Amino acid sequence: MSKQANVIAPSILSADFARLGEDTAKALAAGADWVHFDVMDNHYVPNLTMGPMVLKALRDYGITAPIDVHLMVKPVDRIVPDFAKAGASVISFHPEASEHVDRTIGLIKDSGCQAGLVFNPATSLDWLDYVMDKLDLILLMSVNPGFGGQKFIPSALDKLREVRRRIDESGRPIRLEIDGGVTAANIGEISAAGADTFVAGSAIFNAPDYQAVIQAMHQQLAAVRG
C-alpha cells in the first residue's frame, strides 16, 4: 500500500479567533485541503480551546472542507457524538485518555466519522497492535500537545518510518498524519519519513501570505514524491 495523496491541514489553533470563519476560509482558499481542529480541556493538556459549538459555527459559516478533530480531552467518549453531530469528518484521540480504546474507536465510527489514534512523542506504538485494522488515521505528535508554535522534535522522524512500515504491511489505506513544528523548511524530510497528512498552525497563520507558505509546502512535497 503506497501513501495517500498529500493533505495540508492548517491548525486553526493559530488562527485569529475573533475572525475564525473568515481566517479558516482564507487558509482553504490559499490551497489548504483540510481544517485541523484542536480541542483542549485544561485537564488532559494545560490549555483550553474550542468545543462542538465552534465547529458547528464553522459549518454554518460555510466551511465544507473535511474537519479533522484532534481531541486532547479526558474522558473522551462523552464528547464524541457531539462533535460528530456538529460536522466533524475525522475524530482522533489519545489512547491513554480513553478507558477503552477499542470502544472509543467503535463509537467514532458508529457516529459516522473516520477514526484516528494519536501518539505523543513519548507514547509507545504498542497501542496499535490490536486496533490497526479499525483505524483510518494515525497521528504522530512531533511536539508535546497543548500549544502551537513549538519546535519539531526530531525523534518523530524515526517513529514516522516505523508507522509507515506498519501501515504498508497492513495493506490498509490508513493516513499517517504529523502535527507540531511543521514548516516549509522541514516538510520534505517529514514526507520522506512517511507522512502524507501535514498539520501546520503557526507556519501558516503567522505568515503574511498563506498562499505562499502552502505553495512552498506543496513544492517541497512534490519534490519528495518525484
Ligand X SMILES: O=C(CO)[C@@H](O)[C@H](O)COP(=O)(O)O
Q: Is the preceding peptide bond at 75 cis, omega within 30 degrees of 0?
A: yes
d(CA 164, CA 225): 15
List 116's β-bridge partners, or say none.
92, 137
Report the length, in residues, of the chain. 226
Residue ranges binding ligand X (CB under 6 A): 11, 13-14, 36, 38, 70, 143, 145-150, 179-182, 199-203
Radius of gyration of the chain (CA): 16
Does residue 209 have an active-site annotation?
no
Whichever of 2 and 67 has its CB closer to ligand X, that residue is: 67
Provide the residue type at 34 as one letter: W
The answer to the question of whether 94 is labelled as a binding residue is no
Does residue 60 have an active-site annotation?
no
Catalytic residue of the set 41, 68, 136, 179: 179
The answer to the question of whether 87 is labelled as a binding residue is no
Catalytic residue of the set 38, 41, 68, 136: 38
Whichever of 121 and 147 has its CB closer to ligand X, that residue is: 147
DSSP structure class, residue 148 = S
Tell the smallest beta-carbon distance from residue 206 to ligand X (Å).
Answer: 8
The answer to the question of whether 68 is labelled as a binding residue is no
Alpha-helical segments (H) within 48-186: 52-61, 80-86, 101-110, 156-170
CB-closest chain residue to ligand X: 201
Tell the smallest beta-carbon distance from residue 95 to ligand X (Å).
Answer: 16
The answer to the question of whether 146 is labelled as a binding residue is yes
Tell the smallest beta-carbon distance from residue 154 to ligand X (Å).
Answer: 14
Terminal-residue alpha carbon distance, the chain: 18
The answer to the question of whether 16 is labelled as a binding residue is no
Tell the smallest beta-carbon distance from residue 130 to ligand X (Å).
Answer: 25
Q: Which of 146, 150, 121 has its CA nearest to residue 45?
A: 146
Whichever of 84 and 118 has its CB closer to ligand X, that residue is: 118
Q: Which of 103, 39, 43, 113 has its CA nearest to residue 72?
A: 39
Residue list for the binding site for a divalent metal cation: 36, 38, 70, 179
Q: Which residues are catalytic?
A: 38, 179
